[in-house]
Structure 1
Amino acid sequence: MCSKFTILFVLLTFANLNAKENFDKNEVLASVGKKIITVGEFLTRYSDYIISSGIKDNIVTRRSILNNMINEILLYDYDNNSSIFNNPEYKRELEWARKQTILAFLKDQEIYAKLTATDAELRDAFFKTNMKISARHLFAETEEEAENLYQLLQTGADFNQLAKQVFTDSTLQNNGGYLGFFTWGDMDPAFEDAAFNMKEGEISKPIKTKFGYSIIKVEKKVANPIITEDEFLRKKKHVERIVKMRKMGYEEEKFLNKVFDSRKLKINDDAINFIFENLSSVNQIEKKQSPKFPFVVKYGNKNYSLTEIQQRINELPAFHKRKITSPQNLKAIVKGLVLQDVLYSLAIKKGYDKNPQVEKTISNYNNNIFLRYKREEIANAKIFPDSLIHKFYTDNPQYFMNENEINIQEIIVNRKELADSLINQIKSGNDFGSLAKKFSLREWSAKNNGVIGLSEISKFGGLKDTLWKSEIGTILGPIKIQQMFGIFKVLEKKNAEVKKFEEVKNLADRLLKKEKSKPIMEEYIDKLRKKTSVVWNDKLLGSLELPKN
């Protein structure tokens, strides 16, 4: 918070920020009750902030950062935090942050630190950062589909017409897959590497990306006409970081294959299904009689018992447990936990957990996690009158809308030839519902003549815009959806409406508290300051010289 608070300032004379004074990093810059903030602690925090934010050093920013450090001490050391410190979820997040920091340092030391970039690579990358490319593309999920598209282009098929067939997104359908202008670092690396090495008007062969396969057509390339050596030297370190980061994916995969042999990992699907089926509504494993499994999880000589895996899942932070929505992603999480164990063991052997940089980063994460919980606790404790909550509700109806809803009829089949035949039969007057009941592969809707019932439009994913823009009675398709083909008829549309206040009162209260979070926090800290002595040396604060990078 800021200088609006009543603070006892000592030596209020402001000195030149650029004064090159000698100072002791252990000298006390501020005291908060019995706690102190040293010059060294402030300079570390302030320098990190200046570098990360790009803000120019000035006395106002110095005071603001010092104020934040004071406020954090007040909240942590001079308030009752027992409910936070005893919160199991808070403890889980701290432990998760600790392990992830150690693992991140392992990756940094074992992979990133060993990467190199030649001068030629840096100059090539610098040139690319000064070039803009506009392109369009066709997307396919499999190599076979991509090759078919490429062959069609080779025999004269129109790029725009193919885009209408392959994309479900209405924008890409109607603009021929046009992506607009992008520069180096904006897109998937494989996509970029291909595009930057192509000529205007050229069409690529299928390019494998992390999303699938793309066929690229470069529309225009615009280079910065003036690139000086001085500019290259000034940006060289930044470009070097980008080049090394682009190499990280491949090198990380090599490193993981070296330390983790996935062939040694065995996961019992029956055990995974049992664990998933016994997750409670809050993703905690319910305690009940467990069946006997020949094994649950094995990696080499290490056996993980059912109890151990259950415990590890229970120890995950809530934001990770919410990802457990199917046995498949539970299995992926379990595999991730085993991999983490291997990497964490390696990091501990190398002593990375004792590294000062790691300890500092863990401390910063702990502080951020605490402050998040503290802000939430302070906000939740604030009571607003119903009249103010209702006013927020009426002033912000956009927050309390139902989604647009749509009711469609569908036929889902797995063969293009069958889909084409069915669409022709429908256009010839055959009953949509009868065909859906006979041919559609989605059993629950087929039983209802293909009728899905009113559903939120977001549930239709990439089809939502196309369906919503279609008139009642419109028949769409066949549309390729993964390995299936769908035919759809729009039956009914219902526009979004504002929910009743009683339904969303709690939500309105939470959003109001979020909007008022700054004054709520300022009011709370002001009370703490009135009970605690806060003193700082403003002359010393202004005279400090930032460390040279």
Structure 2
Amino acid sequence: MINLLLIYIAFVFSVNQTVCEKTTKNSPDTLAVVDKKIITTDFYKKLYQEKITRFGLQDNYDVRLQFLNNLLNDEILLREALNRNYDKTPDALNELNRIKIQKLLNRFVELEISPEINITEEYLKDLYIKLNTKILVRHIYADTKEKADKIYKQIISREKTFEEAARENFKNSELKNNGGLLGYIAIDETDPEFEKAAFSLKPGEVSQPVKTVYGYSIIRVDDIKRNPLITENEYLKSLPRLKAFARKRIYEDSLKQFARRLGDKLKIEFNEQALDRLYMSFNNSGQREVAEKSHDEIVLSSSIGKWKMNELLSELNSTPARQLKWIKSKENLRDFLKGLVNRKYIIDYAKNKKYDQSDVYKREVQYEFETYLISSITEDLKKNIVIPEDSLESYYNKNREYFKTKPRVRISVILVDNENSASKIKNELNAGTPFEELALKYSIQKATAVKGGDAGYFDIEDLDYLADTLWNSNSEQWLGPFRDDSKFLFVKITDKVEPKSIPFYELKEDIKNMLVEMKWLAEKNNIIESLKRNINIHVYKEKLLKVKI
């Protein structure tokens, strides 16, 4: 319940605002006017399409109108933020500078890299299968390649088991005791390089050291669990969102590959002793003083220039703490500094091409900065909202039926691709042949076949059109064949897990955030209404249905 409500809140009351400078109040493209600011149909369409795709919402007039009202409300909050001089604070000016740099980098990528992106049908189908797959993973972390290589050799040579190596190398007590077990993971839940390596492994296989953002991981896959009910029809229905997701992943991968090529092109070289001093200064104030005294020392050289100690210290001081958190080794720092050199090259190149002079760039900077201002004033207004502690538990007690775990089933499956095999399997099952024996003999889904058809546990809601049928079946009962497209599926229920109440202490923070959001929505409307009185607003609702989505 909480997640669904927050998704609804994120859609209906999300922060967005649009400006179009190439139209007038009387233009056919004008959808609404807030004083002199105009919301155009083109900008509305772009943002609206992004939202309904992201949240999987059905397009209709009511949703369109709510979204338009949201844009108007954002414009009103923006005016209030400007009246309070939110745009002139030191934090705002720093944020504006960050946005300008980031948007310039984005323009470079869009114009120099994105055109090369090509999404094939094969890639989409492979991605769809992976999105319906979970893998049980263990890993061992090392902060340097040398350590990772040493651990890997110990495992491969059977000098140590994977679990023993995990116990010796992890400081985290949970990972130390469970042999590095991360549990089941899905696509887009881990570092991209970690994911790529993990999803390429078969059960029991161990990867070579994989470089991630955090260091190095040695990975072992213990189990693979695929949704047995994925069909061609479901694939076709998911294509619009699947293509958007695929483009994002290919885009990010292309960006990484470009960064590697650029790093090689720029011929970046380090003064190792100076790099040591810079790294040591990270968590040691005494060492920081040593680094600062070496302010003119060259730390790195490249084909576009040299960087001194004081310049890099300044860059590190101006970098947000959240970005510095992943620098846990000298090697991490080396990668970070390479990124700074790459960024300088791209910014200089983009400015030389005058990408920062384009209308598109200026609009994107303005949009992003206005979004920041609206978020800032929203967060300040929210600070006045207080939810009493007893209200949290009271809400929990009144809505206990919603705060339960999802019902789950463990299933075994047999999947075949022709009617003759399906008929033969049905006859043998009726004759008493064990389901597990037939799965191993006939099923074309090899990952489950080798386990007697066992596909593991599934949330009942993930089983699509079979959900109610399976939940209402008895354990050890087999069902089928279910036909979808050209395939035939037999299913056996081997276990059921009834919903259980989730303790209040686990939900307390979620409930608090939800109640704050609910109270904010009510108070926000009152604030908007009071601010509207001095603002000239005109909305052309009749144009909403004419917007082609």
Could you tell me the TM-score, scaled by structure 2's length?
Answer: 0.56
1:264-304 per-residue CA deviation (whole Å, 9 max, x = no partner) reads 8899669969998999xxx9x9xxx9997466876556466
Shifted more, 516-525 versus 367-376: the winner is: 516-525
| Equivalent residue runs for 1:335-354 within 5 Å | 336-354=339-357
In the TM superposition, residue 96 of structure 1 has moved relative to its aligned partner by 0.6
| Equivalent residue runs for 1:424-503 within 5 Å | none
Q: Does the CA-based 8 Å contact 1:265-1:299 persist in structure 2?
A: no
Taking a change above 3 Å as real, the CA distance of residues 276 and 144 of structure 1, as seen in their structure-2 partners, is: closer
Kindly indicate whether residue 369 of structure 2 is the aligned counterpart of residue 366 of structure 1: yes
Q: Does the CA-based 8 Å contact 2:132-2:230 persist in structure 1?
A: no
Structure 2 portions without partners, runs of 5+: 1-8, 10-25, 394-512
Separation of aligned partners in 2, 1:277 and 1:167: 21
The residue aligned with 2:63 is: 61
Q: Secondary structure at the match of 1:369?
A: helix
Pairwise CA RMSD: 5.0
Partner of residue 213 from structure 1, selected from 192, 207, 217: 217
The residue aligned with 1:145 is: 151
Taking a change above 3 Å as real, the CA distance of residues 245 and 45 of structure 1, as seen in their structure-2 partners, is: closer
| Equivalent residue runs for 1:118-133 within 5 Å | 120-133=122-135
Q: Secondary structure at the match of 2:57?
A: coil
Shifted more, 221-230 versus 530-539: the winner is: 221-230
Partner of residue 52 from structure 2, selected from 50, 53, 59: 50
The residue aligned with 1:254 is: 260
Taking a change above 3 Å as real, the CA distance of residues 32 and 255 of structure 1, as seen in their structure-2 partners, is: same
| Equivalent residue runs for 1:404-419 within 5 Å | none
In the TM superposition, residue 147 of structure 1 has moved relative to its aligned partner by 1.2
The residue aligned with 1:10 is: none
Taking a change above 3 Å as real, the CA distance of residues 89 and 242 of structure 1, as seen in their structure-2 partners, is: closer
Taking a change above 3 Å as real, the CA distance of residues 352 and 512 of structure 1, as seen in their structure-2 partners, is: same
Q: Does the CA-based 8 Å contact 1:101-1:362 persist in structure 2?
A: yes
| Equivalent residue runs for 1:64-213 within 5 Å | 64-77=66-79, 81-116=83-118, 120-137=122-139, 141-152=147-158, 163-188=166-191, 191-193=194-196, 195-200=198-203, 202-204=204-206, 206-210=208-212, 211-213=215-217
The residue aligned with 2:388 is: 392
Code of the aligned partner of 2:73: N
Q: Does the CA-based 8 Å contact 2:124-2:243 persist in structure 1?
A: no
Quote the sequence identity (%): 22
Separation of aligned partners in 2, 1:308 and 1:35: 42
Separation of aligned partners in 1, 2:172 and 2:313: 40
Q: Does the CA-based 8 Å contact 2:128-2:235 persist in structure 1?
A: no
The residue aligned with 1:531 is: 534
1:347-379 per-residue CA deviation (whole Å, 9 max, x = no partner) reads 222333245544443232112111122224445
In the TM superposition, residue 193 of structure 1 has moved relative to its aligned partner by 4.9
1:21-75 per-residue CA deviation (whole Å, 9 max, x = no partner) reads xxx9644333333444333343333233223332222233222222222223323
Taking a change above 3 Å as real, the CA distance of residues 195 and 103 of structure 1, as seen in their structure-2 partners, is: closer
Separation of aligned partners in 2, 1:232 and 1:540: 32
Code of the aligned partner of 1:349: N
Q: Secondary structure at the match of 1:134?
A: strand
Q: Secondary structure at the match of 1:181?
A: strand
Higher gyration radius (CA): 1
Code of the aligned partner of 1:392: P
Q: Does the CA-based 8 Å contact 1:264-1:300 persist in structure 2?
A: no
Q: Does the CA-based 8 Å contact 1:276-1:326 persist in structure 2?
A: no
| Equivalent residue runs for 1:496-511 within 5 Å | none
Separation of aligned partners in 2, 1:91 and 1:379: 23
Separation of aligned partners in 2, 1:196 and 1:170: 26
| Equivalent residue runs for 1:15-30 within 5 Å | 26-30=28-32
Shifted more, 266-275 versus 256-265: the winner is: 266-275
Q: Secondary structure at the match of 1:219?
A: strand
| Equivalent residue runs for 1:189-338 within 5 Å | 191-193=194-196, 195-200=198-203, 202-204=204-206, 206-210=208-212, 211-222=215-226, 224=228, 227-228=231-232, 231=235, 235=239, 237-238=243-244, 240-241=246-247, 244-245=250-251, 247-248=253-254, 251-263=257-269, 293=296, 299-300=302-303, 302=305, 316=318, 336-338=339-341
Separation of aligned partners in 1, 2:134 and 2:151: 29
Q: Does the CA-based 8 Å contact 1:204-1:215 persist in structure 2?
A: yes
Separation of aligned partners in 1, 2:284 and 2:341: 21
Q: Does the CA-based 8 Å contact 2:167-2:176 persist in structure 1?
A: yes
1:113-151 per-residue CA deviation (whole Å, 9 max, x = no partner) reads 324455555544444444443344555552112211232
Shifted more, 144-153 versus 133-142: the winner is: 133-142
Q: Does the CA-based 8 Å contact 1:146-1:213 persist in structure 2?
A: no
The residue aligned with 1:422 is: none
Could you tell me the TM-score, scaled by structure 1's length?
Answer: 0.56
Separation of aligned partners in 1, 2:362 and 2:50: 16
Q: Secondary structure at the match of 2:158?
A: helix
Code of the aligned partner of 1:134: L
Separation of aligned partners in 2, 1:142 and 1:152: 15
The residue aligned with 2:402 is: none
Q: Secondary structure at the match of 2:52?
A: helix
Separation of aligned partners in 1, 2:162 and 2:277: 49
Taking a change above 3 Å as real, the CA distance of residues 37 and 139 of structure 1, as seen in their structure-2 partners, is: closer
1:207-250 per-residue CA deviation (whole Å, 9 max, x = no partner) reads 42424232414334546366438836963735743662574365
Structure 1 portions without partners, runs of 5+: 2-23, 398-509
Separation of aligned partners in 1, 2:226 and 2:178: 21
In the TM superposition, residue 311 of structure 1 has moved relative to its aligned partner by 6.8
In the TM superposition, residue 341 of structure 1 has moved relative to its aligned partner by 1.8
